[in-house]
Chains A and B, each alone.
Chain A
Amino acid sequence: MKYVIIGNGVASVGAIEAIRKNDKEGSITVFTDETYSCYGRPLISYYLEGKTTLDKMGYRGENFYKENNVSLMLGRPVTKLDAENKKVTAGGKKYDYDKLLVATGSSPFVPPTPGYEKVKNKFTFIRLSDALAIEKKVTKKSKVLIVGAGLTGLKAAEGLYPRAGKITVVDMADRVLPAVMDAESSAIIQKHLEGKGIKFCLNDSVREYSETAATLAGGAKIDFDVLITSVGVRPNVALVQDAGGVCERMTESGRPFRGIVTDDNQKTSLDDVYAAGDCTLSYDVTIGNTRPLAIQPNAYLQGEMAGNAMSGGITFKRNYLPVNAGGFIGLHIITAGSYVGEATTVRTENSFHRFFVKDNRLMGFIQIGEYSRVGILTDMIRKCTPIGSVDFQELIREPKLAALGMDYVKAVLNK
């Protein structure tokens, strides 16, 4: 059996680990345009921040590819997929496959803005190469402009916080983290970051760039030495799309595609072609439908599912959901699910916890500051546990297994 994997992110690793559980013999070849073995992409902000180092960033051990007998083709992007003949083209050469995984991830989207081409130090923030390039340009005196106040933008801000002189963040939305927070919680984060000296220009956008300045739609002018654009990503669907695979189109947002369409086992519409990770769609249990869920845990789980499907392992329908966790200069958040239905908020001196309940189910939560054992809640969302079957008041006070009922506790903890 010849397995070919396009892409070198965690979906790829998930697939390799799953395949090797089921098939110790088949050949596995991984093509990537990157020149590093797999690393967790979100680590790049931690790298800038100094919380990790290049030698610690490997997602798996040094010998991972060797131990799993994987040919890792670094710097060798796949340029064409011939699904009919089961071949991929990379570096001008054609390679046969029996099972193919497309884990091409996503690419940063840079909105067309006048003068952007003039900017000297402009970056996106998604790959290690981005971080390494930014690192060279940023000094303690640097003024950094970040376009985009989403997770990536704010993590970039956090990463650069100890290194840069001044950081300004611009976003079209009226609040930070518009995709993962509601208004009230956004305000908490914004206030915290402002307290750390980060400046926000919200409800605004860049009208025009000069070499070292941006003029905003609202009229303000912001000088910068380094520009980072992080307004969002686009799934890399071209290979599958060109080969005739079904991808979901999204008209209203302006993005051409939301992602490659797969079944529950990550199989695409093409025979023996699977897809996983940011380039695909996921089944979001909190909306009961598929949507792009470009978060790393999903990428691994989908890669693993694909790997199992490709190599005859156990497959099943997983419930995915948005989960985000991370700190913003000392203030941690964990969020999960969708913010629909009735909200309940529990505030303490050091924490803000908000829960969303709909149809007798916990649909989502936002936790800021101190929190504990929130995975218990995530699991409730994932499993669609009826609220009526648990002591919900206790759970939102302090998550605990006992509040889910002793039958459950015995089932999971007793021998």
Chain B
Amino acid sequence: MKRVYVNEEWCLGCHLCEYWCVFSASKETHFPFAFDGGAKPPAGIRVEDYKGINFAVNCRHCEDPLCLKGCISGALSRDESGAVCVDKTKCVGCHTCIAMCPYGAIVSGGDNMPIKKCQLCASRDHVPQCVAHCPNNAIVFEEE
């Protein structure tokens, strides 16, 4: 399976991945529309900034996905490509997955809202948008 990997050496902390993630998940066709009001909605990827080191973290689509196994509603499942995806119509926002994910890769979608996570942009594009728009190859999408 192709996965998203991180080269922290090259991460610039520009946070563009987060914005492209939001845009990708929004299914909007015009970039700014995904950010109505200017506030950044939660993204499926997050750039860590710690003592001058930056890197992006998103779902590892683990072999042993504790989020999926802990999900109370069955909203999390693997798609054909192996990506762990959320069915937003089934998710009740209980946050058990957030409690279970060892990487902190799942974020709250807000009260009563489905959670957000990386879905490898399965429905939009072949290459995840965070990878496609990383200016410095700090995130790559490669076979294991």
Residues of A participating in the B interface, judged by any CB pair closer than 8 Å: 14, 39-43, 46, 51-52, 56-60, 296-297, 300-301, 304, 323-327, 330, 332, 334, 336, 371-376, 378-379, 382, 394, 399-403, 406, 409-410, 412-415
Contact = CB atoms under 8 A, between A and B. Distances in A.
Contacts of B102: 375-376, 378-379, 382
B57 interface: yes
B72 A296 contact: yes
A325 B95 contact: yes
A378 B74 contact: no
Given A300-B69, A332-B111, A410-B8, A325 B96 contact: yes
A43 B8 contact: no
B35 interface: no
Contact of B92 (A46, A304, A374): A46
Contacts of A325: 94-96, 98-99
B66 A297 contact: yes
A323 B102 CA distance: 13
A10 B71 CA distance: 10
B93 A327 contact: yes
Question: Which interface residue of B89, B96, B97 has the most chain A CB atoms within 10 A?
Answer: B96
A43 B92 CA distance: 8
Contacts of B99: 323-325, 334, 336, 374-375, 378
Nearest to A394: B50
Interface in B61-81: 66-67, 69-74, 77
Given A59-B73, A297-B69, A409-B8, A401 B104 contact: yes
A42 B69 CA distance: 14
B30 interface: no
Contacts of B89: 56
Contact of B95 (A332, A394, A402, A409): A332
A58 B48 CA distance: 36
Given A327-B111, A373-B98, A413-B5, 12 more contacts: A40-B74, A325-B94, A325-B95, A327-B112, A371-B98, A372-B104, A375-B105, A379-B102, A401-B48, A401-B57, A401-B104, A413-B60
A42 B72 contact: yes
A323 B73 contact: no
Given A374-B98, A376-B102, A400-B50, A413 B73 contact: no
A365 to B, nearest CB: 10
A57 B70 CA distance: 15
Interface residues of B, number: 45
A334 B94 CA distance: 9
A289 B61 CA distance: 31
Contacts of A413: 5-6, 8, 55, 57, 60
B73 A43 contact: yes
- Pairs A-B, 4 closest by C-beta atoms: A373-B104, A297-B70, A402-B50, A379-B102
B126 interface: no
5 contacts: A297-B69, A323-B70, A373-B105, A401-B103, A415-B142
B139 to A, nearest CB: 9
A46 to B, nearest CB: 4
Nearest to A380: B102
B132 interface: no
A141 to B, nearest CB: 25
B14 interface: no
B5 A414 contact: yes
A185 to B, nearest CB: 15
Contact of B100 (A14, A42, A375): A375
A52 B90 contact: yes
B140 interface: yes
B74 A58 contact: yes
Contacts of A409: 6, 8, 55
Given A325-B98, A415-B140, A301 B69 contact: yes
Nearest to A45: B92
Contacts of B92: 43, 46, 51-52
Contacts of A40: 71-74
B101 interface: yes
Nearest to B111: A330
B107 interface: yes
